[in-house]
Amino acid sequence: MMPEAGWDRLWTGVQLATMADRSLGVIRDGAIASAGGRIAWMGKEADLSPRQRTSAAEVIPCGGAWMTPGFIDCHTHIVFGGDRSGDFRRRLHGQSYADIARAGGGIMSTVRATRRASSEELTRRAAARGRELAGWGVTTIEVKSGYGLDLETELRMLDVAAALPRHIPSGTSPTLLAAHAIPPEYAGRRGDYLRLILEEILPAALQQGHATAIDAFCEDIAFTPAEARAILEAGIAAGLHGRLHADQLSDLDGGALAAATGARSADHLEYLSGDGVRAMAAAGVCAVLLPGAAYTLRVEHSPPVQALRRAGVTMAVATDANPGSSPITNVGMILNLACIRFGLTPEEALLGFTSAAASVLGLEDDRGTLEPGKRADLALWGVEDPLQLCYWMGSSPLRSLIKDGVPWEPADRRLGALGTTRRPSTHSPEKTARGPE
Ligand code: NIG
Ligand code: FE
């Protein structure tokens, strides 16, 4: 425990949901202190000595509000150009996600728009999406590449992702997803694109130093299990965390593939088999559940949540925010869908956005729970019970976001207005970036 003389801030009158030990870990009538961006002390407010209280440089009374660790969105694609509302209309008229992709729409249309966009434009629009997430308590965002599919644009996307924290009150964790689709210039030459990834894009991304993970989309419309395996094995051997878009639209044994390669997570999993669950449990692979994509694409299957739970697989939940399959930055909606659509308990859904998500990103020793020594990434909520975050489908009840011990009020320019409601136009350049996309 750090000496109280060094406390920068002390929040009092707070109900803590620590998310430690795979439970809400509630401490009522609590207090929490930060020093040097870390949690220095936490516990019952009654256990604070008068000397501790007066030694904090700033005391922030919270009037009984609930505090959780800052949310961690461990699967997003928020850096992209263009708009996919045309795909939305086509799906409403009965075309499937796969049909649209095969006709050159879907991911490829976003690739065309992303290649055309300048880094400044990608940053401006990704920052707007990041602020929407921050307005829902998110202090860490995983951000994938995968809409460049060439050396220059993949590296540019990773660069934009790594620089986003200059514009938003959240940290980012960039992931290389060059294996998201076969680009049109490689049609009929998949082997050549695979070689481009392995021999040029991956080595250049390692040299660039932003990516902390490698990911691949394993599906009929994307990469085969053998191709995805080659990509993951190369990235993991080079020291990156492995991730896999697995068993989303069909069962290709993606869960077992993630386990065999030593990946940290398999994501989506609507078609995960019983063997896949067992393989993931044995290898300690986390499941990342993305109910926004299942909802948007009307995927009728759901991940085998009961089997995952019984097998003791860590279940994270994320927005999958992207222009095609999950155009959602509303974390409350995702938590609600995780419960209603996938059958998670509210506690599991909240753990999925905190401690489980930290494990997926390999950050479990640094954040994801309220514990002394962890990063002081905190979200203060105007709710009577933390379960309201899953249950009430309104605007964001966030009162304050604390990143590395520094508070941001919802009115702060860098946070923007709360929630995802459109704001009236303003003169601020960041704010005008939020028009329809
Ligand atoms: O996670 N499944 C593949 N990738 C994204 C979708 C990307 C897109 O449609 O633009 C996903 O759902
Ligand atoms: Fe995804």
Distance 267 CA to ligand 2 centre (A): 8
107 lines ligand 1 (CB under 6 A): yes
Q: How far apart are CA 218 and CA 216, in angstroms?
A: 6
List the one residue out of 402, 377, 366, 331 whose CA is nearest residue 60. 402
Structure tokens at 203: 């080595």
Q: Whose CA is nearest to atom 12 of ligand 1?
A: 325
Distance 54 CA to ligand 1 centre (A): 51
Distance 14 CA to ligand 2 centre (A): 35
Give the mutation target among 77, 268, 271, 328 for probing the ligand 1 site: most ligand atoms within 8 A of CB.
77
Domains and CATH numbers, the chain: 9-69+371-415 (2.30.40.10), 71-360 (3.20.20.140)
Mean pLDDT of 239-255: 97
Q: How far apart are CA 316 and CA 322, in angstroms?
A: 18
410 lines ligand 1 (CB under 6 A): no
Q: 219: part of which helix (H) or strand (E)? A: none
324 lines ligand 1 (CB under 6 A): yes
325 lines ligand 1 (CB under 6 A): yes
What is the number of other CB atoms lying within 10 angstroms of the CB of residue 152?
11
Q: What is the pLDDT of residue 408?
A: 87
Q: How far apart are CA 150 and CA 321, in angstroms?
A: 22
Condensed to tens digits (0 to 9), the pLDDT of residues 354-381 reads 999 999 999 999 999 999 999 999 999 9
List the one residue out of 357, 361, 277, 346 whose CA is nearest residue 317. 357
Give burial (CB, 10 Å; 0-12/13-18/19+) of 436.
Answer: exposed
End-to-end Cα spacing for the chain: 47
Condensed to tens digits (0 to 9), the pLDDT of residues 109-145 reads 999 999 999 999 999 999 999 999 999 999 999 999 9
Q: What is the pLDDT of residue 6?
A: 86
322 lines ligand 1 (CB under 6 A): yes
255 lines ligand 1 (CB under 6 A): no
Give the mutation target among 325, 328, 437 for probing the ligand 1 site: most ligand atoms within 8 A of CB.
325
217 lines ligand 1 (CB under 6 A): yes
149 lines ligand 1 (CB under 6 A): no
Mean pLDDT of the chain: 93
How far is C-alpha 237 from the geometric centre of its chain's CA atoms? Answer: 24
Q: Whose CA is nearest to atom 3 of ligand 1?
A: 217
Condensed to tens digits (0 to 9), the pLDDT of residues 31-73 reads 999 999 999 999 999 999 999 999 999 999 999 999 999 999 9
The answer on pLDDT for 433 being more than 60 is no
Q: Whose CA is nearest to atom 5 of ligand 1?
A: 325
Q: What is the pLDDT of residue 265?
A: 98
Reduced to 3 states (helix: H, G, I; strand: E, B; else coil), residue 194 is helix
CA angle (36 as vertex; 35, 37 as ends), nearest 5: 90
Reduced to 3 states (helix: H, G, I; strand: E, B; else coil), residue 364 is coil
106 lines ligand 1 (CB under 6 A): yes
Distance 118 CA to ligand 2 centre (A): 23
State the ligand closest to the CA atom of 97: 1
Q: How far apart are CA 308 and CA 287, in angstroms?
A: 8
245 lines ligand 1 (CB under 6 A): yes
Distances (CA, A) of 297 to 9, 67, 223, 259, 393: 45, 33, 20, 26, 21
Note whether 215 and 186 are within 8 A (CB). no
Q: How far apart are CA 264 and CA 405, in angstroms?
A: 28
Q: What is the pLDDT of residue 138?
A: 98
Give burial (CB, 10 Å; 0-12/13-18/19+) of 430.
Answer: middle
Regarding beta strands 265-268 and 286-289, do their DSSP bridges make them parallel or antiparallel, or are they unpaired? parallel
Q: What is the pLDDT of residue 2?
A: 46
Condensed to tens digits (0 to 9), the pLDDT of residues 203-233 reads 999 999 999 999 999 999 999 999 999 999 9
Q: How far apart are CA 405 and CA 408, in angstroms?
A: 10
Q: How far apart are CA 368 and CA 19, in angstroms?
A: 8
Mean pLDDT of 6-24: 97
Condensed to tens digits (0 to 9), the pLDDT of residues 380-426 reads 999 999 999 999 999 999 999 999 999 987 666 666 544 333 333 33
Q: What is the pLDDT of residue 104?
A: 86
The answer on pLDDT for 75 being more than 60 is yes
Q: Whose CA is nearest to atom 11 of ligand 1?
A: 325
- Is residue 4 very low, low, confident or very high in pLDDT (cuts 50, 70, 90)? very low
